[in-house]
Amino acid sequence: MMPDSQFRTTTRHMLRESKTYASQTLMGGLSGFESPIGLDRRDRIAALKSGDIGFVHSWDINTSVDGPGTRMTVFMSGCPLRCQYCQNPDTWKMRDGKPVYLDAMIKKVDRYKDLFKATHGGITFSGGESMMQPAFVSRVFHAAKEMGVHTCLDTSGFLNTNYTDEMLDDIDLCLLDVKSGDEQTYHEVTGGLLQPTIDFGQRLAKAGKKIWVRFVLVPGLTDSEENVENVARICESFGDAVEHIDVLGFHQLGRPKWHELRIPYPLENQKGPNAATRERVANQFKDHGFTVY
């Protein structure tokens, strides 16, 4: 780890009074959730495996960010990837989250179900990587579907094999992060492998699920014409399941968290894409017949 002197710390950065920062990290917190008390480590592991508890970082109510309508977005703790541009490095370790009872989460969904139905919204599980806790997430989704609530999974798909075909049944929509179009770049960006994302997307398509693809555009890292073409071909392999592709320009909103956690930030001085690059990438996807946002 780098010595403290190499970090540019700021006591008052641009996010502290930002509504975006508040909605992503602070608004929901874990208020209103009943947390297990008195469970020893072995009991917690067993409850996690069964889905009786889940380790949650925070939750939020938002609109048109993590799926259609008004959403309850639950940020789960734990992620196997280490994306260079990660906005939430504080969600990487599952143990840093708070254990929440399954019943408490279901009751929270039930509380908002009328709002969801009125706005055509629902519940979204994000992270971290929500597929690290498949039993908990899938059981909440199943309960939500029984209430008539729309369900959305926000994932990299990297943990494809964690989800059974039966678990896929209760997913209405997947926000699938296709972080790169080739294995070398994917590994550079995330430290992981690309193929599981492709496999998961194809499984979703086969199951008749809808996909919103997300692609983060980082100059010098993911923006090459070849890489974008490869991402487009991957999306083509998902067929009609893809409703649109979100091209997300890199930004520095996550940088303060890396500083606060004393994690060396690999994109310290990286700039976001310019308008010309955004347009070129959008047109590449459009040339393959995709709707692009």
Strands 98-101 and 53-63: antiparallel
123-171 pLDDT per residue, tens: 999 999 999 999 999 999 999 999 999 999 999 999 999 999 999 999 9
pTM greater than 0.75 (yes/no)? yes
**Residue 25 in this model has a pLDDT that exceeds 60:** no
Give 38's pLDDT tier (boundaries 50, 70, 90).
low
Report the run of H or E that residue 204 belongs to, with start and end. Answer: helix 195-206
DSSP β-bridge partners for residue 175: 154, 212
What are the E-state strand segments in 64-205? 70-76, 98-101, 122-126, 150-155, 173-177
Give 31's pLDDT tier (boundaries 50, 70, 90).
low
* Residue 14: φ, ψ to 5°: -65, -15
Report the run of H or E that residue 213 belongs to, with start and end. Answer: strand 210-217
Q: Give the C-alpha separation, 121 to 62, whole Å.
A: 10
Type of residue found at 62: N
- Copy the structure tokens of residue 157: 């798909």
SS3 state of residue 103: helix
45-79 pLDDT per residue, tens: 899 899 999 999 999 998 878 999 999 999 999 99
Beta carbons of 65 and 19 less than 8 angstroms apart: no
Contacts 24+ apart (CB under 8 A), 23-29: 23/60, 23/62, 23/65, 24/60, 24/87, 24/88, 24/253, 25/58, 25/88, 25/90, 26/58, 27/60, 27/61, 28/58, 28/59, 28/60, 28/61, 29/58, 29/59
Domains and CATH numbers, the chain: 10-287 (3.20.20.70)
DSSP 55-99: EEEEEEEEESSSSSSEEEEEEES--S---TT-S-GGGS-GGGSEE
231-279 pLDDT per residue, tens: 999 999 999 999 999 999 999 999 999 999 999 999 999 999 999 999 9
Q: Give the C-alpha separation, 73 to 128, whole Å.
A: 12
